[in-house]
Structures are given as structure tokens and as C-alpha cells.
């Protein structure tokens, strides 16, 4: 049998260009123009061919060109400037250490199934991954002590290929990790570091790759090793591929294998942040590790760990949350169950809303919630949706009090602002915009940018988008061996001066990509007006198993072939980060038409806004907040936030979309005034969009929120519970057991309204109640007044809490409590009295899920 022995070949760089290699292996260059321009300067055409991969570029560029660059003082001075900028960035003090000196030595581990950092690293599929990539970049900018954990996919996400009918096919090119900006992780002996993960069929081995993202390392687990069986090698094969069993195997590698990797690297995390439920198995490994190391029970170890776990959910669609059949989870968690001292029922109960429901599937988000103390949605509206979706975990709480918070997503501004727009910002805002992109006063100076200059830069970007689109369309047509007339058309599509509307995202049916084509005749009139030309640019992939999404793509391509629309409607094949940058910086309008409330956040619109594109959107996700705060200053809304249970509202919202386009948007764009004939009303909205939205919808603001609200409180509470011999966790466990045992005896009785039923605004309403606490004391509970307006109904729609005060004990052993409800507004109000367990060591008051209403 043929025996292969492997070796790796690296580029030979002239000595004075060696620093290029270090810059290439740190993805800082991907958002630092001074770094990226170095590689482009070596060979612009090759840079395009290698999808912006500096390692591939250095491997393929002519040696003669490298020698020429080494003797070119202009190039070497550029390299010197880039190197100095890079070193200053890597060595500077971070915001986190200045703001939280008490958290020195802490480490946050960020787990995600995908990372969209740059197109040269194809381990992402869409918004979730791009958000994760931007989270790492911003953590580097702010000096957050964070480390990323993910999987090194042999195939990554698919490359989209469209046939002549517009039907999506998929290709899965193999990733060559030796030709990417990643490094193998070695052990102390200089050999590949390998970790070992338990599966029912035996041990699966995984090697590690390191991606350096500025000051943040990202470690990727790779099971594609010869010592693994073929089926085990495929665990890190495709991203989001395979059946349910494949997904369980993959998520065990991410969560449990990821924890093994951090341990092997000596990077024990203080806090673990689960970006979606895919990595939730990590909580089981964290608990097991504390049990083994500290000799405590599952319950104590769980109490010690849960304050240090953060869970972010991105999916408002129940079907989009991973849930596995019990037998499957039972099989794959069996190697871990016995060590945890759990029965099969208890183990499966960790992933069930009702642990007693033996037929219920095992939900990864439920596992994440059960083993964490901090949970959030990714926009204010998504927070509301998530509280409703998971309210069954707190069945006695009003939905608005379910302790799932929201931190609205953002984007890494420096990664998404076009270089020309960035130069304009630097000229009028100063260079601080890159590092202080959440400074509202700084961005208010956008109004000082001259109209003509802003418009000139924007028009240049639209022209560049048209050039890119023509090149991409021609390349796709050539791959399909299209006839000559189609190749010629590709060179002429789109009008560089037309109002350009962009729509690019994952093609799922609820995103309604074809809503604009509800009335084709009306669209034809809109797009064929010679005095006010309009054009549409679409891009995006459907999940390989999503037939409905593929039908949407095909329908748009068929519409683009309508004689009246040909050349004015285009669909760009194989959407990726490179294409996204061109689109968000080149369109005039970013269109978003999801069926509310299924868009969790929608960060693509934020990227477009950072480049001055105006929003045209249903009031869903982040745009609902932007519209609430700024209204029509930042774009146009489709409807007023109505929600329909199915497609019944599509025709209505299509009509609203046409009305906005015909009566407001298109006329404003083509209203040109002054001697320079530019659209000053439009430009005013561009400036407002940039000035108001950029400082709010960026990852600097977002990551600071995670740090202040979750990371730092988690670090402090986890330390408090784990100090010494876990005294804090043991005490909290004992207390919770005591509360659970005593809770059946708790009763709220004799609620009295001690004020008239009608009072004037400003006069407090006094309430008293008698509470039977059984074996508990007033220190163990919070007796609360839940009150609020009824808004014409019989229920409190959104309540407020007032804590009542213990007065004295009654003759039968009960306790009397009293409180006052403030009255700030007139109208019908209501209140109720309740008891909830209280302990200052809890992260939030509803950890026990116990509540007793009067």
C-alpha cells in the first residue's frame, strides 16, 4: 500500500519583507486598510483571484515580484508604516482593563458554530457567523480578555451554483488549512496538540488550529485525522450538514471538545458565552470538571457554574432551535452521564421545558438556559419574542418578567465601511471614528461633511458596485457555458446612475425576498421610467434542504428575465462577505421584508447604514428600534409593526411597499436642486442615518454591554461562589434545597387595600398582606406588589414591582407585610401580591422558578 509522508511548503520572503508574514497571519489586516493595501499592492489581480487570502497570495505571487517589492522603497516604507500601526494596536492598553481592573486575570470563552471574519476563511454561513466574527474583532479593539472556540470545517459552507433555470446547486470545495491565515497549535514538544473526546463508539481525536484576530485568539477543532475512523473524521466536515445524529456529534465536539481544548491550552475560562445553543454541551463538561476537581455533587457544581455561563439566542422561529430525539441524546451523553451522578431521566430533563415529559425532545436552548444565569435576545423585539417562546420555563411569571434580556446586535464598523467612505470620515471626523465608533458626539459631526463630497463618494461606490456585478455575472455565465448573448448582457446590466435597491441575505421563506414582485406590472412601471430609473440587486443563499428558499431564488431570476426588467434586476451568485461589502457600500437603499417578528436582528441593514444607505424595511429586528427612535429621518417603514400569523398580510404589505416607493422614496432621490444638481433632501437623510445609527448599532456598544451587564457580574459572582472550598455554591445549594422543601407551605393571604379604590395621581396606594412562610423567614423571600395599568382590559399588560416590607408576626405564626404603589398616571390599574425566593447570591430572582401568588 502507498505510504504518504506529508510536509508543508511556505513562501520564501526576502529578509526585509518577513514582517509581511506576521501581518498575514493576524486578521487585523482585514479591517485595517494600511495592512490590507500591502497585499493588494503586491498583485491586485491575484488578490481578487485568491479571495483576499494573504497566505495564498504570498504562495502564488512571483518570486521576482517579491524581490522587486523588497527593493522598492515606496513599498518598504508602506510596510514600515503598517508594521508600526500593527504594533501600536497590539500593545496598547484596552478599555476593559481600564474599566474593570478588578477583573484582571479573568477569561471569557466565546463559543460559536461559525465565524465570519473574512471571506478567505470560509467557516461561516451567514449573519450568526458574521456577528461572531465582529464580536471577536471588537473584543480585540476593546481589550476584552476573550478567546474564541469553533470548528475547522473541511468543507465549510457550500458555494452556490445556479443552473440555467435559476435553481440553486451546492458545491463543497475542500479547505486547505495550510494555505489559509491559520497556524497549527503545537504542544511543548513541538508536536501537534491533540485532544480526545468521548463518543459512544470510542474516542475521537481532534487537532487544533489557531486564528489570530487582532489581540484575540480563535481556536478551531479539526477531527479530520488519519487516526480517526472515516465517520469520525466527518464530524468537522461540512458546516450545518447531515442529519440529526450528525448534528449531535458535531455539537459535542464544539461544546465538550471545545472545553477539552481550552484545558489543554491552559486557558481555563472564567465565563463561557454560548452564541446560540449549538455549544450548550459545554455546560455539562464544566459541571463535570468541578465535580471531579472539587469532589462535590452535581447540584453544587451546577450552582458554581451557572452564574459564569452566558447564552445568546438568535432564533425567533421554534423550528430553528436544535432539538433532538431522546434516544439520540441518551446514546451520546451516556459516556458522561454516570460521572455526573445523574439518572437518564435527570440528564434528559436538562433539555426539556417540563423535565417530567418523557416524550419531549431534548432542546439545546433549554439546556443552555437551565445551565446559565444570563440569557438574551439580539434586539428589543426579539427579546420580547424570546420571553414568550421560553415562558414555559417560568410558568407562573408574567411574560414580560421572564428573565431573558436583550442586547441589540451591532456591526464592526471598520470592517464594513468602504475605504473611500472611511477616508471621508477621517477627513471630517478625525481618525478616532475607527476606535470610538460608539461616540455619539463624534458622529454628530457627520452633518459637517459637505453634501457634494458625500454624494461624490457615494456615487463612486455605486459605480464600483455596478462594475463588480457585471464582472461576477459574466464569470457565473462563463461557468455555465452560457451563450454569447448572455455574456454580452452581463457586461451591460445595471445603470451606474440609477436608484439602486439592494436585498441580500439568507433566502428563507419568512424573509419574503419576492414581496416586491407581488405585482409585476407595477414593478415594471417603476423600473422602466426613463426619467427616474430604478434597479434591484439581489444576492443570498438558501439552505441546501430549504426547497422554499430555492424557489424564491428561482422566481427572482425568472422575474429578472422579463423583457421589461432585463438588465434592471440582477441576482448575484455565491453571496459571501466580499460581495456583502460591495453591496452594503454601493446601494442607495437597503430593502428588508421579513414577516414580523421573525427577523431576530438583521445586521446587514446596519452595515448599509454605516455607508449612508437608507433603510426600507418592515418594523422588525433592529430597524424597529431605529424607527422608534428616529422615524423617517433614517429611511422608510413598511407598515406600522403589524403582525400576521401567516401569509395573509403579504398582499397588504406589498401594497404599502409600492406606495412608499412611488410616492416618497423615488421622488426624493430624483429631486435635484442647486447648481450641482444633487439630491439634497436625500443627502440630509444619509447624514442623519450615519450620525444617529452608526454610534448605536455597532459592536463596540454591543460588546461593552455584554461586558457591563453579563461578563463582569458573572466574573464577580462566580468568584464569590467558587472561592475556597466552594463555600458560596454549597451554601446556595443548601438554601435552595431548603426553599424547595418549604415552598408548599408558603401562602399569601388576607391582601388588603388600605387606601380608597379611587385616588388622585401622586397619592400612593397602600397595601398590606399576611404571608404564611412555614419554615422560611422574611430573609428568604421577597414579598412583592406586581402592579400596572390595565389599558381598558382586565389584566396588567406590563407590570412593575414594588417590594413590600415585613412588619411583624401574627399569633398564628404568619408574617404581615406592607407596601405602597406609586401613582404616576391616571386610568384603571390593578395589582397582585406574590412571594418569590430571595438570596443575594442569585444572579436573578427567578433562578428557582418558584413563585406564589395571592
- The DSSP code sequence of 699-711 is HHHHHHHHIIIII
pLDDT tens digits along 186-232: 999 999 999 999 999 999 999 999 999 999 999 999 999 999 999 99
Residue 432: pLDDT over 70: yes
Average pLDDT across the chain, whole number: 95
User: What is residue 764's DSSP assignment?
Assistant: P
Contact between 819 and 802 (Cβ < 8 Å):
yes
Cell of 312: 445568546
Q: How far apart are CA 551 and CA 167, in angstroms?
A: 7
Share of the chain above pLDDT 90, in %: 91
pLDDT tens digits along 376-403: 999 999 999 999 999 999 999 999 999 9
User: Which single residue is written with the C-alpha cell 448582457?
Assistant: 489
User: What is residue 530's DSSP assignment?
Assistant: S
Distances (CA, A) of 612 to 424, 455, 533, 571, 631: 12, 10, 20, 22, 16
Contact between 132 and 112 (Cβ < 8 Å):
yes
Contact between 851 and 834 (Cβ < 8 Å):
yes
Q: For residues 746-753, give the mean pLDDT.
A: 94
User: Which single residue is written with the C-alpha cell 477539552?
Assistant: 260
Q: For residues 406-430, give the mean pLDDT.
A: 97
Q: For residues 36-48, give the mean pLDDT.
A: 95
Residue 9: pLDDT over 70: no
Q: Which among 96, 308, 112 is positioned nearest to 219, based on CA atoms?
A: 112
Distances (CA, A) of 146 to 132, 220, 328, 381, 714: 12, 15, 33, 28, 14
User: What is residue 803's DSSP assignment?
Assistant: E
Distances (CA, A) of 813 to 735, 771, 777, 804, 850: 21, 9, 11, 18, 22
Q: Which pLDDT score, from 0 to 100, does residue 356 have? A: 92
Residue 6: pLDDT over 90: no
Q: How far apart are CA 647 and CA 773, in angstroms?
A: 51
Distances (CA, A) of 351 to 347, 356, 621, 626, 753: 8, 11, 27, 35, 42
Q: How far apart are CA 214 and CA 435, in angstroms?
A: 13
Q: How far apart are CA 12 and CA 69, in angstroms?
A: 13
User: Which single residue is written with the C-alpha cell 445553543?
Assistant: 277
Q: Which among 628, 117, 625 is positioned nearest to 378, based on CA atoms?
A: 625
Cell of 138: 471588537
- The DSSP code sequence of 114-163 is -B-S-TTS-B--SHHHHHHHHHHHHHHHHT--EEEEEE--SSBSPEEEE-
Q: How far apart are CA 392 and CA 844, in angstroms?
A: 17
Q: How far apart are CA 670 and CA 677, in angstroms?
A: 10
- The DSSP code sequence of 334-397 is HHHHHHHT--HHHHHHTT-SSTT-TTS-EEHHHHHHHT-SEEEESSHHHHHHHHHHTGGGSTTS
Cell of 843: 444572579
User: What is residue 431's DSSP assignment?
Assistant: G
Give the CA dihedral 296, 298, 302, 303, nearest 10 degrees: -60
Q: For residues 222-243, give the mean pLDDT.
A: 94
Q: Which residues pair with 789 in a beta bridge?
A: 829
Contact between 312 and 376 (Cβ < 8 Å):
yes
Q: How far apart are CA 35 and CA 30, in angstroms?
A: 8
Q: How far apart are CA 714 and CA 725, in angstroms?
A: 19
Phi/psi of residue 836, each to 5°? -135, 145
Three-class DSSP category at 107: coil
Q: How far apart are CA 643 and CA 656, in angstroms?
A: 14
Cα-only R_g, the chain: 29
The verdict on pTM exceeding 0.85 is: yes
Three-class DSSP category at 231: helix
User: Which single residue is written with the C-alpha cell 444619509?
Assistant: 686
Contact between 148 and 216 (Cβ < 8 Å):
yes
Residue 7: pLDDT over 90: no
- The DSSP code sequence of 448-508 is GS-HHHHHHHHHHHHHHHHHHHHHHHHHHHHHTT--HHHHHHHTT-S-TTSEEEEEES---
The rounded Cα 545 to chain-centroid distance in angstroms is 23
Three-class DSSP category at 102: helix
Q: Which pLDDT score, from 0 to 100, does residue 776 have? A: 96
Cβ neighbours of residue 344 under 8 Å, at least 6 residues apart? 330, 337
Q: Which residues pair with 75 in a beta bridge?
A: none
Helix (H) or strand (E) holding 59: helix 54-60
Q: Which among 772, 725, 739 is positioned nearest to 842, based on CA atoms?
A: 739
Res. 409 pLDDT band, cuts 50 70 90: very high
- Of 12-16, 111-115, 161-165, the least confident: 12-16
Q: How far apart are CA 699 and CA 412, in angstroms?
A: 5
Residue 2: pLDDT over 70: no
Q: Which among 455, 32, 10, 478 is positioned nearest to 213, based on CA atoms?
A: 32
* Helical axes 63-70 vs 73-91, angle rounded to 10°: 80
Contact between 257 and 290 (Cβ < 8 Å):
no
Distances (CA, A) of 843 to 276, 308, 372: 20, 10, 10
**Biggest CA-to-CA distance, the chain:** 97
Cell of 141: 479593539
Q: How far apart are CA 503 and CA 513, in angstroms?
A: 8
Q: Which pLDDT score, from 0 to 100, does residue 1 have? A: 59
Q: How far apart are CA 332 and CA 347, in angstroms?
A: 11
User: Which single residue is written with the C-alpha cell 458596485?
Assistant: 465
Contact between 110 and 218 (Cβ < 8 Å):
no
- The DSSP code sequence of 630-686 is HGGGGEEEESSS---SSGGGHHHHHHHHHHHIIIIIHHHHT--BTTTTB-HHHHHHH
Q: How far apart are CA 423 and CA 611, in angstroms?
A: 12
Contact between 707 and 407 (Cβ < 8 Å):
no
| Residues constituting the chain | 854
Alpha helices in 223-355 (DSSP H): 230-233, 244-252, 258-265, 282-294, 298-305, 326-340, 344-349
pLDDT tens digits along 475-508: 999 999 999 988 999 999 999 999 999 999 999 9
Cell of 41: 499592492
Contact between 771 and 749 (Cβ < 8 Å):
yes
Residue 789: pLDDT over 80: yes
Task: Kindly list the strands in the beta sheet with 747-753, ordered across the sheet, starting from the edge strand earlier in the chain.
Answer: 747-753, 765-772, 815-821, 805-809
Residue 3: pLDDT over 90: no
pLDDT tens digits along 600-654: 999 999 999 999 999 999 999 999 999 999 999 999 999 999 999 888 899 999 9
Contact between 683 and 668 (Cβ < 8 Å):
no
pLDDT tens digits along 119-159: 999 999 989 999 999 999 999 999 999 999 999 999 978 99
Amino acid at each position: 500500500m502507498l505510504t504518504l509522508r506529508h510536509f508543508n511548503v511556505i513562501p520564501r520572503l526576502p529578509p526585509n519583507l518577513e514582517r509581511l508574514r506576521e501581518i498575514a497571519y493576524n486578521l487585523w489586516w482585514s479591517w485595517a486598510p494600511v495592512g490590507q493595501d500591502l497585499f493588494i499592492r503586491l498583485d491586485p489581480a491575484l488578490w481578487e483571484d485568491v479571495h483576499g487570502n494573504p497566505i495564498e497570495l504570498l504562495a502564488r505571487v512571483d518570486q521576482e515580484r517579491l524581490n522587486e517589492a523588497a527593493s522598492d522603497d515606496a513599498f518598504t516604507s508602506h510596510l514600515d508604516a503598517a508594521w508600526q500601526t500593527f504594533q501600536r494596536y497590539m500593545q496598547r492598553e484596552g478599555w476593559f482593563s481600564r474599566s474593570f481592573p478588578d477583573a484582571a486575570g479573568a477569561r471569557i470563552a466565546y463559543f460559536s458554530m461559525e465565524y465570519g471574519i473574512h471571506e478567505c476563511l470560509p467557516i461561516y454561513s451567514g449573519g450568526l457567523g458574521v456577528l461572531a466574527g465582529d464580536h471577536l474583532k471588537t473584543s480585540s479593539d476593546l481589550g476584552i480578555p476573550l478567546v474564541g472556540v469553533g470548528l475547522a470545517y473541511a468543507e465549510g459552507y457550500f458555494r452556490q451554483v445556479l443552473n440555467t433555470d435559476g435553481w440553486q446547486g451546492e458545491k463543497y470545495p475542500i479547505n486547505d488549512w495550510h494555505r489559509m491565515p491559520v497556524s497549527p497549535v503545537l504542544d511543548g514538544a513541538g508536536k501537534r496538540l491533540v485532544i480526545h473526546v468521548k463518543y459512544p463508539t470510542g474516542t475521537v481525536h481532534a487537532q487544533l488550529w489557531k486564528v489570530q484576530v487582532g489581540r484575540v485568539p480563535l481556536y478551531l477543532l479539526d477531527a479530520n485525522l488519519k487516526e480517526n475512523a472515516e465517520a469520525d473524521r466527518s464530524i468537522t466536515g461540512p458546516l450545518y450538514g447531515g442529519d440529526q445524529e450528525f448534528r449531535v456529534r458535531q455539537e459535542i465536539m464544539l461544546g465538550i471538545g471545545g472545553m477539552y481544548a481550552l484545558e489543554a491550552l491552559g486557558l481555563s475560562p472564567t465565563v463561557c458565552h454560548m452564541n446560540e445553543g449549538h455549544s450548550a454541551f459545554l455546560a455539562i463538561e464544566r459541571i463535570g470538571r468541578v465535580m471531579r476537581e472539587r469532589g462535590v455533587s452535581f447540584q453544587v457544581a451546577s450552582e458554581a457554574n451557572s452564574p459564569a455561563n452566558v447564552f445568546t439566542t438568535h432564533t425567533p422561529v421554534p423550528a430553528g432551535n436544535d432539538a433532538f430525539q431522546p434516544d439520540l441524546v441518551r446514546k451520546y451523553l451516556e459516556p458522561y452521564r454516570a460521572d455526573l451522578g445523574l439518572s437518564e431521566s435527570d440528564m434528559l430533563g436538562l433539555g426539556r421545558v417540563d423535565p417530567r415529559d418523557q416524550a419531549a425532545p431534548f432542546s439545546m436552548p433549554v439546556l443552555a438556559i437551565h445551565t446559565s444565569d444570563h440569557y438574551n435576545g439580539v434586539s428589543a423585539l426579539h427579546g420580547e419574542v424570546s420571553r414568550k417562546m421560553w415562558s414555559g420555563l417560568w410558568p407562573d411569571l408574567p411574560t414580560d418578567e421572564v428573565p431573558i434580556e436583550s442586547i441589540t446586535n451591532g456591526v464592526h464598523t471598520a470592517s464594513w465601511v468602504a475605504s473611500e467612505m472611511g477616508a471621508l470620515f477621517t477627513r471630517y471626523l478625525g481618525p478616532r471614528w475607527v476606535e470610538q465608533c460608539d461616540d455619539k458626539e463624534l458622529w454628530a459631526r457627520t452633518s459637517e461633511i459637505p453634501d457634494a463630497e458625500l454624494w461624490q463618494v457615494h456615487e463612486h461606490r455605486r459605480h464600483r458596485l455596478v462594475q463588480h456585478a457585471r464582472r461576477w455575472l459574466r464569470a457565473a455565465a462563463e461557468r455555465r457555458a452560457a451563450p454569447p448573448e448572455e455574456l454580452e448582457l452581463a457586461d451591460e446590466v445595471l445603470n451606474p446612475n440609477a436608484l439602486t435597491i439592494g436585498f441580500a441575505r439568507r433566502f428563507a421563506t419568512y424573509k419574503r425576498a419576492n414581496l416586491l414582485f407581488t405585482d409585476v406590472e407595477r414593478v415594471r412601471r417603476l423600473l422602466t421610467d426613463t426619467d427616474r430609473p430604478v434597479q434591484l440587486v439581489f444576492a443570498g443563499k438558501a439552505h441546501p434542504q430549504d426547497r422554499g428558499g430555492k424557489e424564491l431564488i428561482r422566481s427572482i431570476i425568472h422575474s429578472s428575465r422579463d423583457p421589461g426588467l432585463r438588465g434592471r434586476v440582477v441576482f448575484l451568485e455565491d453571496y459571501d462577505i466580499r460581495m456583502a461589502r460591495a453591496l452594503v457600500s454601493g446601494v442607495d437603499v437597503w430593502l428588508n421584508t421579513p414577516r414580523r417578528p421573525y427577523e431576530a436582528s438583521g445586521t446587514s441593514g446596519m452595515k448599509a447604514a454605516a455607508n449612508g444607505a437608507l433603510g426600507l424595511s418592515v418594523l422588525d429586528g433592529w430597524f424597529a428600534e431605529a424607527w422608534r427612535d428616529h422615524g423617517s429621518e433614517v429611511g422608510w417603514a413598511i407598515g406600522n409593526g403589524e403582525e400576521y400569523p401567516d401569509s395573509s398580510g403579504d398582499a397588504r404589505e406589498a401594497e404599502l411597499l409600492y406606495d412608499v416607493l412611488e410616492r416618497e422614496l423615488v421622488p426624493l432621490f430624483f429631486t435635484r436642486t442647486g447648481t450641482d444638481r444633487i439630491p439634497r433632501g436625500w443627502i440630509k437623510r444619509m447624514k442623519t442615518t450615519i450620525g444617529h445609527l452608526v454610534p448605536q448599532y455597532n459592536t463596540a456598544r454591543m460588546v461593552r454591554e455584554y461586558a457591563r451587564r453579563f461578563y463582569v457580574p458573572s466574573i464577580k459572582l462566580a468568584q464569590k461562589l467558587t472561592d475556597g472550598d466552594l463555600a458560596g455554591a454549597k451554601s446556595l445549594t443548601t438554601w435552595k434545597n431548603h426553599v424547595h422543601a418549604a415552598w408548599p407551605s408558603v401562602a399569601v393571604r388576607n391582601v388588603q387595600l388600605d387606601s380608597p379604590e379611587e385616588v388622585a395621581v401622586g397619592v400612593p396606594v397602600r397595601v398590606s398582606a399576611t404571608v404564611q412562610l412555614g419554615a422560611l423567614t422574611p430573609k428568604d423571600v421577597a414579598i412583592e406588589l406586581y402592579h400596572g395599568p390595565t389599558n381598558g382590559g382586565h389584566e396588567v399588560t406590563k407590570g412593575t414591582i414594588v417590594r413590600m416590607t415585613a412588619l411583624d408576626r401574627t399569633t398564628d405564626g404568619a408574617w404581615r407585610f406592607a407596601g405602597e404603589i406609586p401613582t404616576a398616571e391616571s386610568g384603571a390599574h390593578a395589582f397582585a401580591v406574590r412571594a418569590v425566593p430571595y438570596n443575594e447570591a442569585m444572579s436573578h430572582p427567578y433562578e428557582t422558578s418558584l413563585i406564589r401568588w395571592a
